[in-house]
Amino acid sequence: MRDPRDLYRFESVEVLEAVPRTGLTLVHALPGMVDAGNACRIAATYLRDELRHLRLVSFDTDELIDYRGARPQATFDGTSYVDVELPELTLSLMYDERDRPFLFLDGPEPDLQWRRLTEAVIDLVEYFDVERVVGMQAVPMAVPHTRPIGLFAHANDPALLGRPNTRPTPAPGTAPQLGEEGAAELIIPASFSALLEHRLGRADHPAMGYAAQIPHYLTRTDFPAGALALLRRVSEAADLDLPLVHLGDLTDAATVALQGTLAQNGEVRQIVSALEEQYDAMSEADQSPLATTMDLPTADEIGEHFERFLADHDGESPDDPFPR
């Protein structure tokens, strides 16, 4: 295998000197074949737009991306090609709302050289002395958008998820849960993120991630609620203060628009109703076989939304027919 370090280059010495060498978390969003609701893409774009960041590392996408399989977009003005947008895979130094630094790896999932790129990322994890790696994914599931979003939690060390390192034998007469001794394993299509988490574990680097469960009927639609659910979990796992209020506003607006669309589509309404009944029945029976957490707003988010609501309606009276 060729030297993995040839796959990337540092941007500048000045930027590297700005990177602290202790306590760093690396967050990654590498959407590929499956990015239900475009949740990972929305989350990554939102972080780049909202947070101060500096590019640290650029990867050689000519070595990693199959342009014929996933063609870049070109802009044609009727006479000339004014732009051809080639994909980028980058590692950035970001600062959260409290000016705490973390690393952010984002771009398209590589088509080629997974093993070599994995070694390159591990090399960077060791170079920057990263303490923890946290990933984001989004998968389609038979769930309704009208219920809290579930997230599959996974890690190369169960302790990262607050679970014991031992796997107890299930009690007689009970079905073993996934991850317990005796439980059936799932064979699923791999992603680069899955390989990275696995190889990081073999190299003794803690890594974990969350996969948001997106309603299957919204797989090809922008679903910002999925991105919000992912960033809430990443914020908790990485102990970061991420700006989620504006994304909450986008989610509210998208939900209103979705409800309007469903009101005009009786077939989809029937699907949603059936999924709600199934979801509620399974929740009451506690039959989820996977490590699932529910996405619920934090107290701070609720407070900020309430403050924004009051600011938007300042001076209005319920009895005033002509509010300002």
CA–CA separation, 134 and 155 (whole Å): 9
The one-letter amino acid at 94: M
Closest to 51 (Cα-Cα) out of 8, 103, 15: 103
Name the pTM for this structure.
Answer: 0.83
Tell the residue number behind the tokens 């984001």, with chain if given: 136
Contact 51, 96 (CB under 8 A): yes
For the chain, the domains span: 4-74+81-166+182-312
Determine whether 256 is exposed, middle or buried from the number of CB atoms within 10 Å of its CB (0-12, 13-18, 19+): exposed
81-85/73-76 β-pairing: antiparallel
Q: 288 or 216, which is more confident?
A: 216
- pLDDT average, residue stretch 284-291: 58
Predicted confidence (pLDDT) at residue 295 exceeds the cutoff of 90:
no
Span 221-249, pLDDT tens digits: 999 999 999 999 999 999 999 999 899 99
Which architecture characterizes domain 4-74+81-166+182-312 according to CATH? Answer: 3-Layer(aba) Sandwich (3.40)
Contact 189, 200 (CB under 8 A): no
Ramachandran quadrant class, 129 (left: phi over 0; alpha: psi -120 to 50; beta: rest): left
Q: 150 or 290, which is more confident?
A: 150
